[in-house]
Amino acid sequence: MSVPAAALSIRGLAKRFGSKIAVDGISLEVPAGSFFGIVGPNGAGKTTTLSMATGLLRPDFGTAVVHGVDVWARPLEAKKLMGILPDGIRLFDRLTGEQLVTYAGLLRGMDKAVVSARVGELLTALDLSGDAGTLVVDYSAGMTKKIALASALIHAPKVLVLDEPFESVDPVSAANIRDILERYVASGGTVIVSSHVMDLVQRMCDHVAVVAEGRLLAAGTVAEVRGGVSLEERFVQLVGGKVQTGGLEWLRTS
């Protein structure tokens, strides 16, 4: 049997909330081994698309397939292949950081000794060793992001889906996380990140998709999508809607 080249293949995904069409038929191929960025303005449908693609939100239409496994037809198998950092996560925050990551590993059916060794390594890599015994509810936003990332990595998934992984994370931790992700991709893993930070996506990702108003506007290698200009310029060209920044006279302080 040939191995499918796509780590994630989504076809015609669509979702409506009441009268709001959040995602309007998005199809996308994420090549295995790629570092794939999804960018789009606020409310573009990134989180909704990723939630449907990872089995967290049932699509109205369309399919999502991870390494040949249909996410909604074979959810257990598909979820084993994925590590997910959802946006606005609700964690079991009455656990300590160490307990939370351990729990994530044990829930995945992993061996206790392996979990214990990996938890130590992950906490060190993410600079959380000093706070291993602190309750997650007392973590800062950036620390919470990092402990959730550790929980997504513990079972060494084939595909990592990270919704805004760098939001609230300090620059040193962000560089550490980038390092971890780059090594993961170099070893054959696939990373899918959503981000608003064009510069970061341009530097970090090899592929990018631009979404707006629930539709896919462009997708391909970063070089293809950029077409000779910066990703930020291209994004503004594609998405448009640069608002006039006049007005707000009342906000002037002199």
Ligand X SMILES: Nc1ncnc2c1ncn2[C@@H]1O[C@H](COP(=O)(O)OP(=O)(O)OP(=O)(O)O)[C@@H](O)[C@H]1O
Which residues in this chain contact ligand X in the complex, by CB under 6 A?
Answer: 17, 20, 22, 40, 42-48
Least gap, CB of 163 to ligand X (angstroms): 7
Least gap, CB of 23 to ligand X (angstroms): 7
Least gap, CB of 20 to ligand X (angstroms): 5
Least gap, CB of 213 to ligand X (angstroms): 9
Least gap, CB of 45 to ligand X (angstroms): 4
Q: Which residue, 46 or 226, is less far from ligand X as judged by CB?
A: 46
Residue 96 near residue 133 (C-beta atoms within 8 A): yes
Residue 128 near residue 143 (C-beta atoms within 8 A): yes
Q: Which residue, 126 or 200, is less far from ligand X as judged by CB?
A: 200
Q: Which residue, 104 or 200, is less far from ligand X as judged by CB?
A: 200
Angstrom distance (rounded) from CA 64 to CA 73: 9
- Inter-helix orientation angle 97-107/112-125, to 10°: 140
Q: Which residue, 22 or 82, is less far from ligand X as judged by CB?
A: 22
Q: Which residue, 157 or 214, is less far from ligand X as judged by CB?
A: 214
Residue 120 near residue 46 (C-beta atoms within 8 A): no
Q: For the chain, what is the radius of gyration of the CA atoms? A: 19
Q: Which residues of 70-91 are buried (b: 16+ CB within 10 A; e: fewer)?
A: ebeeeeeebbebbbbbbeeeeb
Instruction: Looking at the chain, list the stretches that DSSP marks H as alpha helix, in order from N- to C-terminal side.
Output: 46-53, 75-81, 97-107, 112-125, 141-153, 171-186, 198-204, 222-226, 231-239
